[in-house]
Amino acid sequence: MCPALYWISAFPAEFDLNQDLAQQIKELKAALAQDGNRRHSNLIDIENVPRQQWRRQLTQRNPAAPKRKTSLLLDHLEPPELAAHLTLLEHRAFGRILFQDYHSFVTHGATVDNPVLERFIALFNGVSRWVQLLVLSQPSAPQRARVLARFVCVAQHLLELQNFNTLMAMVGGLSHSSISRLKETHAHVGSETTKLWESLTALVSSEGNYGQYRRHLSRSVGFRLPALGVHLKDLVAVHLALPDWRDAAHTRPHAPKMRQLFAILDQLALVPGLQPPCTADPDLLNLLAVSLDQYQTDDEIYQLSLQREPRSKSAPSSPTCTARPPDLDEWALAAKPKPDPALVREHIEKMVESVFRNFDVDGDGRISQAEFSIIRSNFPHLCQFGDVDENQDGWITRDEMVSYFLKFSADVDGRMGFVHTFAESSFLRPVACRHCKSLILGIYKQGLKCRACGVSCHRQCRDRLHVEDPGGGGPGFGGRRLRCAPLTRRRRSSSPPARTLIFLLLPPHWRPPSTKPW
């Protein structure tokens, strides 16, 4: 009784908008009345819960409306004022998120039928793109450096307001490869700004599982906006790592999982009730919301970055002054760069690991001839079974397969290229781009990951990640390209039924007494 009354009074929106939960409470009320506890039954009243639908209403966008360019200039706002408006905009979006939105994201692994959380993620990405576009909108390097320094100052004020979510979005935008590659621009940034920028980057860095951010958040008091992406990853990780129940009959909840979920959700549940320590002009807030609604993609922003500072300054800028192209014979005889053996070996080991993960049906760490025939359907130019089986014992081990590919790579002078099969992916752990080495930041579907070998990269780094063939014959087997393709595998067993994340009606300060089975 007491836990139910507490949650109804503390979180009325959940009982107003979640019809299944409301129906369960009505059944509890009816059961109490049927058992003769009419006084307790009368205490439960969800019929008069304040309507909460207005909190969930989103502004409607006209999909047929033409995409128009909007003004990005908010130069009249000082950094503290801009940080305050961004914080209020973020807090307003945070207040619309309910437990059912977190539950939906964790169980589906994506924003399926979840417009509130989808709009919140779009706001996060919009801040990152808006920052990049404002920097790149300036034609000269000194002007771009001034805008960059201004946003570093805005980020500092966001930290003072303890708005970690927008801070992470802004740092992610300024750390994006379209901005980090601007060497001329960064050369005009002062040392004090650079020092401040490095400290802010370290604060929201994913190093140590966002260790600095977590320590800073635990010490913060009063108003604060957590970095939602970090806590969403925590929820997904806990949900996937631990079962909901301790027994097959579903009678004993998993206490450690409940405790960890409570700790994560407790931080997020406090946010809507916190009062921001700043005020905002409603007109400026609407203008800012429109400016953050960007249509440019990451590829378009990166192309704008290349226009501001091209990759090579040695190429002539005028088409009337073209350099004489080298003769074909000189090009063919030119010295070819030698591939990095460590990088080639790393690619081979990841590919072999993927092969064993998908084709070693019995899990004994060896590939049989029957399993090898399935592999050849994915790699049609692969050699015969006996060429890989060095000791001719009828089985192929990991070491034998790695040795074969390394030997073949040496035979063709390292002309082994890999065509990755990339797909959008969300990363639960800190991941660095294989090409530019910078972190892949964001909340949801931050970057690309090869389905076969697991290599990760930014979207704009995709085309520059391949191990290119330095020879004329093309990479791969006998001058043919080796493709890291999606692997067709056998299913060892049917996938286990999807688990459902449990949200129990518990008292506000409840903690499981121990981790022993109930």
DSSP 434-483: TTT--B---SSS-EEEETTT--EE-GGGGGG-S----SSS-SSGGG-PEE
Determine the 3-state secondary structure of 430 from DSSP.
coil
Q: Is this model's pTM higher than 0.75 or not?
A: no
Assign 326 to helix, strand or coil. coil
**Closest alpha carbon to 298 in 163, 448, 105, 161:** 448
Give the separation between CA 315 and CA 336, rounded to whole angstroms: 21
- Determine contact, residues 191/147, Cβ cutoff 8 Å: no
Domains, in order of start, for the chain: 2-49 (no CATH), 78-308 (1.10.840.10), 344-484 (3.30.60.20)
Distances (CA, A) of 13 to 117, 134, 225, 270, 510: 16, 38, 20, 14, 21
Which is it for strands 482-484 and 418-420: parallel, antiparallel or unpaired?
parallel
- List Cα–Cα distances, 331 to 273, 326, 469, 471, in angstroms: 68, 6, 15, 11
pLDDT of res. 196: 95
Strand partners, 484: 420
- What gap in Å lies between CA 351 and CA 454, rounded to an integer? 9
Based on the number of CB atoms within 10 Å of its own CB, is 491 exposed (0-12), middle (13-18) or buried (19 or more)?
exposed
Amino acid sitting at position 450: C
How many C-alpha atoms does 385 have within 13 Å on its Cβ side?
Answer: 15
Q: How far apart are CA 439 and CA 458, in angstroms?
A: 9
Q: Please write down the long-range contacts of 345-349, taking CB distance under 8 Å and 24 or more positions apart.
A: 345/402, 345/406, 347/416, 347/418, 347/453, 347/455, 347/467, 348/402, 348/405, 348/406, 348/409, 348/416, 349/402
Q: Do the Cβ atoms of 164 and 213 come closer than 8 Å?
A: yes
How many alpha carbons lie under 13 Å from residue 262 in its C-beta half-sphere?
15
For residue 296, what are its two tokens? 């440019």
pLDDT at position 201: 93
Q: How far apart, in whole angstroms, are the C-alpha atoms of residue 415 and residue 479?
A: 8
CA 253 to CA 329: how far, in whole Å?
74
Identify which of 125, 150, 148, 126 has the alpha carbon closest to the alpha carbon of residue 136: 148
- The contacts of residue 260 (CB under 8 Å, 6+ apart) are 238, 242
Sequential pLDDT tens for the chain (518 residues): 676 666 666 666 666 666 677 777 778 778 777 777 777 777 776 666 655 554 445 454 444 444 434 344 466 678 999 999 999 999 999 988 888 888 888 888 777 788 888 889 889 999 999 999 999 989 999 999 999 999 999 999 999 999 999 999 999 999 999 999 999 999 999 999 999 999 999 999 888 889 999 999 999 999 999 999 999 989 988 988 888 888 888 888 889 998 998 889 888 988 988 999 988 888 788 778 877 877 788 888 999 999 999 986 543 333 333 333 333 333 333 344 455 677 778 777 877 887 787 777 777 888 888 888 777 655 545 667 787 888 888 888 888 888 887 776 665 444 444 456 778 877 766 677 887 777 776 655 678 887 766 788 888 787 666 543 333 333 333 333 344 433 333 333 333 333 333 333 333 333 333 333 33
Dihedrals φ, ψ of 239, to 5°? -65, -40
Angle between the 79-94 and 115-136 helix axes, to the nearest 10 degrees?
Answer: 160
Burial readout 195-232 (b: 16 or more C-beta within 10 A, e: otherwise): ebbeebbebbbbeeebeebbebbeeeeebbbbbbbbbb
pLDDT at residue 226 in the model = 94
